[in-house]
Structure 1
Amino acid sequence: MSFWKDRMLIIPAVDIKDGKCVQLVQGKPGTEQVVLDDPAGVAGRWESLGAETIHVVDLDGALGLEKNTGILKEITERVSVPLQIGGGIRSREYAGKLLDMGFERVILGTMAIENPAIVEELAGEYGSERIMVSLDSRDSRVVIRGWTEKVPFTAEEMARKFQERGAGSILFTNVDFEGLLSGFDLKPVSELVEAVEIPVIYSGGVSSLNDLRMLQGTGVMGVVIGSAIYRGLIDLTEALKYQDLK
């Protein structure tokens, strides 16, 4: 049975920068709104509140700096629920290292878009369900390299290609709304869910329980929540009640 079947998982995010758990506005360095020590402890707290999976992002890695390996390993040792990891995965070897380290899924962004064959290779070696492709969208086009470069394709176009390559799921982030806590546009995620058969997980702009209620109607299999739970706009315990699709 698929990990995602018949559920809309509520997935708390743990974003790591300079050894700390942070929340940025639209992924831009220098816009930290939340800075907490002990990212592994933060992940453990979300698990203790009932999270069934946790979303880890190596923000330094996304900018090409591989300096949080020790912290990532600590998270896998202190947290028992499935973990998914993204940010700075630039080689097949590093993706394999993270999977072998204990992460349930790797999230491939720039590398997958620049070398789609890597998705097929990793899916063949580790299984499709452990390979998630990140499609980050700004102004209706996919962006890569820490959201700094735009490519001439829509998320729907790329999602179909990666489904054919063996990706097990898609993480869709609407960068236009990321970290702004201002709501989001349902149309792009709804269209993406309709475009593919594999699970779509949504991230970006979720700031209220009503947002989760609306997302239930789109068919997404998971929702990543970051800034809203760190700033107290959403209580994770209450959010977890929205996990079952009806």
Structure 2
Amino acid sequence: MSFEDNKMLIMPAVDIKNGKCVQLVQGKPGTEQVIIDNPEKVTKKWEDEGAEIIHVIDLDGALKSKDNLNTIKKILGEVSVPIQLGGGIRSVDYGKQLLNLDIERLIIGTMAIENPQTITELSDEFGSDKIMVSLDSKDSKVVIKGWKEKINKTATDVSKEFQEAGAGSILFTNVDVEGLLKGFDIQPAVDLVNSVDVPIVYSGGVTTIQDVKKLTKTGVKGVVIGSALYKNKLNIKKALKLQNIE
């Protein structure tokens, strides 16, 4: 599914840890506020509710403990809507393995920061539309390695480098507000949209239908929503009605 000019895709988040669907606060292990068995059934639920694409993150992979490849395969077997997938992609070979599973889009974070050439290699083979770079921001600086290590650059600083390297889109996560259900500052998303020509997907702090409405005015092409959906702060069907932008 390619990004469209007058559409902002609503992307329910399915984060996997220990084979379960979870929601963490600011990505910190031990802060699980939602734990649900059978992530594939959760993914199917979002498809049944009308989601056109689902955002799946392997948290164990991101935290280097192990991967949830079997669960990912179950999800792909359960749903027919596109899946964009990230978490723990530390090598080009593993990236290729995942892309060959027929996922819609691969999300790469730490590996892209440490070795931008890997983005070029994967986009050359699979097409730039298949490659999304994840830029996670904490205290206005990019963080890597499961949000544990900060580099001295902003998301805007590095976004242009990744566009040139072959990334077809960018996922921007505001770690400062991730999982807190307290809203977010819209300006970083606007700055990033204005800095590059590739589509931007926003994640972090989206709590209310008003938050979704705010994002429709930024130029982002997608918004990832997690905790607000699982805690019934936000109704997905109402959010989906805002996908088409006038």
For normalisation by structure 2, the TM-score amounts to 0.98
* Residues 40-189 of structure 1 aligned to structure 2 (within 5 Å): 40-189=40-189
Query: Which SS does the other structure have where 1:13 is aligned?
Result: strand
Shift in Å, 1:245: 1.7
Alpha carbon RMSD of aligned pairs, Å? 0.9
- Partners of 1:174 and 1:4 in 2: CA distance: 23
Is structure 2 residue 200 aligned with structure 1 residue 200? Answer: yes
Assess, with a 3 A threshold, how the Cα gap between structure 1 residues 19 and 130 changes in structure 2: closer, same or farther.
Answer: same
Q: Is the 8 A contact 2:58 2:67 kept in 1?
A: no
Shift in Å, 1:3: 3.2
- Partners of 1:114 and 1:58 in 2: CA distance: 20
* Residues 21-32 of structure 1 aligned to structure 2 (within 5 Å): 21-32=21-32
> Structure 1: which amino acid aligns with 2:3?
F
- Partners of 1:24 and 1:4 in 2: CA distance: 30
Shift in Å, 1:79: 1.0
> Structure 1: which amino acid aligns with 2:238?
E
Which ranges in structure 1 are unaligned for 5 or more consecutive residues? none
- Partners of 1:24 and 1:16 in 2: CA distance: 10
Query: Which SS does the other structure have where 2:134 is aligned?
Result: strand
Q: Is the 8 A contact 1:55 1:224 kept in 2?
A: yes
- Partners of 2:210 and 2:63 in 1: CA distance: 33
- Partners of 1:3 and 1:217 in 2: CA distance: 16
Percent identity over paired residues: 59
Equivalent residue, structure 1, for 2:3: 3
Shift in Å, 1:86: 0.7
- Partners of 1:35 and 1:21 in 2: CA distance: 6
After superposing the two structures, state which structure 1 stretch, 222-231 or 1-10, moved more: 1-10
Deviations 1:73-109 (A, max 9, x none): 1111111111011110000011111111121111000
* Equivalent residue pairs, number: 246
Shift in Å, 1:26: 0.2
Query: Which SS does the other structure have where 2:164 is aligned?
Result: helix
For normalisation by structure 1, the TM-score amounts to 0.98
- Partners of 2:196 and 2:24 in 1: CA distance: 30
- Partners of 1:44 and 1:2 in 2: CA distance: 21
Deviations 1:204-224 (A, max 9, x none): 000000001001110000000
- Partners of 2:240 and 2:206 in 1: CA distance: 14
Deviations 1:135-174 (A, max 9, x none): 0000110000000000111100111100011100000000
Equivalent residue, structure 1, for 2:215: 215
Equivalent residue, structure 1, for 2:240: 240
- Partners of 1:89 and 1:96 in 2: CA distance: 10
Shift in Å, 1:37: 0.3
- Partners of 1:44 and 1:138 in 2: CA distance: 32
- Partners of 2:160 and 2:3 in 1: CA distance: 21
Equivalent residue, structure 2, for 1:35: 35
- Partners of 1:186 and 1:21 in 2: CA distance: 28
